[in-house]
Chain A
Amino acid sequence: MMTTQNILLLAIGCLIVWYLSHQAGRLDRLHHRIEVSELALHGQLNRRAGIVAELASVASIDPALSAVWGDAAHDVLALEDDSSASRTDTENELTQVLVATLDDDEEVDEISRDPFAAKLLGELAHAANRIQMGRRFHADAVRDCLEIRNQTLVRLFFLAGHAPMPRTIDFDDQIPAGLRDSRNL
């Protein structure tokens, strides 16, 4: 015989189960979103390095500049593990090399006199823009996810399973001023 008390308990139980499954579903989707945006970001980082390596091999680029670009770009392209801590340092170095060499409109204009180099610089500007946005979008997803993972019930019932705690990807993503100005970004 069901008493009012039992019905109430059952209802509360159902509600908790529904809530937990709802939160688990949200976590699942957020983990997926984080994974995809991380892959996208890494794709664009490799693309940036690829463009810089190609720029370094353009005939009209002086050998000193070519060496600096080639060195920084190949360090990134040589990274194997996408999540390694050395990625941060290597990407920072590439960004800093780009900022040091492409901060000045006049120098960018000079390089752009070679139409092939100009085309690559345009692609580089877009890649830098994509990286900056991609990092922001990834951080948005991580923030949304952490908000749920830090809830008491979610932690208590181990809803995230063995998924590692998501982390933002931190590195210097600034766009060199010379690229920003001339490319309408």
Chain B
Amino acid sequence: MRIGIVCPYAWDVPGGVSAHVHDLAESLIRMGHYVSVLAPAESELGLPDFVVSTGKPKAVRYNGSVARLSFGPVTARKVSRWIEDGKFDVLHVHEPLAPSLSVLACWAAKGPIVATWHSSMDRSRMILSLAKLAQTAMEKISARIAVSEAARSTLVHHVGGDAVVIPNGVDIATFSHAKPMSGWPGAGKALVFLGRVDESRKGLDVLMRAYPEIRKQYPDLRLLIAGPGDASDAIANLPTTDQQSVTALGMISSELKPSVLASGTIYVAPNTGGESFGIVLLEAMASGTPVVSSDLEAFSSVLNFGRSGVTFKNEDSEDLAKVIVDLLSDDFRLAQLKAKGIDRAKEFDWVVVAAKIVDVYESVRVPGMVVEPDLAGQMMGRLGRGRITPEGRSE
């Protein structure tokens, strides 16, 4: 199958959506499909063969934060040309309500279009107004995928219609061979936290309040903190006897991530909200580390409601301390959770996830029919009642 994928965010700037598109494209190529990805990129250097860049994205204030997006007439023309040259069997756009390449591609194409919704944030007004503006483009989407139940309900409430839920994938092989960093977790056992240190949603304070309590039972326990931000304040607030036992790595590379996750006896995810999935939980499980997380809906469902990991009451440090103390004393349970976690993570392997996405493609495409440029979808075409023939168009 010839598949055209559109990523609205810069290819070479780390982010959830571009990482998803990257892994999906590679999985599809491994399955034997032809894939072309259209994405903005800060630099043309080092782009994989399958990526077509639309140039540097523009930094604009959108939806309360600065986003790097691509739009404008020059970009729109590049999108049309890519669609015309691609002769795709299916066009797969990501995050179609971001004012960037995806919505432009919907506008400019006609044929089987699949869209994936990633965001679950309740940005009701913004999404609603944009959904109205982009209605003609949205109506061309034949099949809709949401990466989580939360993303699906955002879509159902604010845009209408339904979507199939296909979660994010994890590249299991990268994590299943992970070796812990040397000396970790050590005889005294260790906890691992990964996430932005200075973002309260990630819940480091919840863990830091529980930590001294746990150390009372396990005086040799250590804590490994990895993630961007300065952890020194958080460490300084601990009782002096506990401070020495904390190691803060700062921001880590993605190459180091598997071994950081493998370095703990337990991976702790004390996030307090705003999580739509929980990919890092699956990564920890794939690397063989049992997970303790807050009982956010998304996390509970990733942990298969207690079967593949343990949850504690969100924002409740006392409960967290109790859960971890119980678990550290039970080596049998830890070994069991390790095995169950690995099995659970395998269900989200990209091989499995990409096959499900191909099923979506096959459910709306017709062999022999390709995605064509739709001039009626473009501004000038719309004004002309959508009756412009290819011969009659002017650039």
A153 on interface, CB distance cutoff 8 Å: no
Instruction: Judge whether A29 and B142 touch: CB under 8 Å.
Output: no
Instruction: Judge whether A24 and B164 touch: CB under 8 Å.
Output: no
Instruction: Judge whether B364 and A136 touch: CB under 8 Å.
Output: no
Question: Which residues of B lie under 8 Å from residue A133 when comparing CB positions?
Answer: 143, 164, 359-360, 363
A126 on interface, CB distance cutoff 8 Å: yes
**Bitwise interface map of A from 30 to 55 toward B, beta carbon under 8 Å scored 1, else 0:** 10110011011101100000000000
Instruction: Judge whether A126 and B112 touch: CB under 8 Å.
Output: no
B366 on interface, CB distance cutoff 8 Å: yes
Instruction: Judge whether A36 and B363 touch: CB under 8 Å.
Output: no
B162 on interface, CB distance cutoff 8 Å: yes
> How far does the alpha carbon of A126 sit from the alpha carbon of B356 in the complex, in Å?
8
A152 on interface, CB distance cutoff 8 Å: no
> What number of A-B contacts does a CB cutoff of 8 Å give?
85
Task: Determine the main DSSP class of A at the interface with B.
Answer: helix
Residue of A nearest to B361 (CB): A130
**Bitwise interface map of A from 57 to 91 toward B, beta carbon under 8 Å scored 1, else 0:** 00000000000000000000000000000000000
B392 on interface, CB distance cutoff 8 Å: no
Instruction: Judge whether B352 and A36 touch: CB under 8 Å.
Output: no
Given A29-B139, A36-B112, A36-B142, A129:B386 Cβ within 8 A: no
Question: Which residues of A lie under 8 Å from residue B377 when comparing CB positions?
Answer: 29
Instruction: Judge whether B365 and A140 touch: CB under 8 Å.
Output: no
A171 on interface, CB distance cutoff 8 Å: no
B46 on interface, CB distance cutoff 8 Å: no
Tell me the A159-185 residues at the B interface (CB within 8 Å). Answer: 184-185
Question: Which residues of B lie under 8 Å from residue A41 when comparing CB positions?
Answer: 363
> How far does the alpha carbon of A33 sit from the alpha carbon of B138 in the complex, in Å?
12
Instruction: Judge whether A21 and B359 touch: CB under 8 Å.
Output: no
> How far does the alpha carbon of A126 sit from the alpha carbon of B355 in the complex, in Å?
9
Instruction: Judge whether B385 and A144 touch: CB under 8 Å.
Output: no
Given A33-B142, A36-B112, A37-B364, A136:B386 Cβ within 8 A: no
Question: Which residues of A lie under 8 Å from residue B359 when comparing CB positions?
Answer: 126, 129-130, 133
A-binding residues in B (CB < 8 A): 110-112, 135-136, 139-140, 142-144, 161-162, 164, 347, 352, 355-356, 359-360, 362-367, 369, 374, 376-377, 382, 385-386
Interface pairs A-B: 7 shortest CB-CB = A134-B363, A130-B363, A21-B385, A133-B363, A25-B386, A39-B366, A137-B143
Q: A43-B366, A185-B356 are in contact. List 16 more A-B contacts (CB 8 A).
A: A25-B136, A25-B376, A25-B386, A29-B136, A29-B376, A32-B110, A33-B139, A36-B111, A36-B365, A130-B362, A133-B360, A134-B363, A137-B363, A140-B144, A140-B161, A144-B161
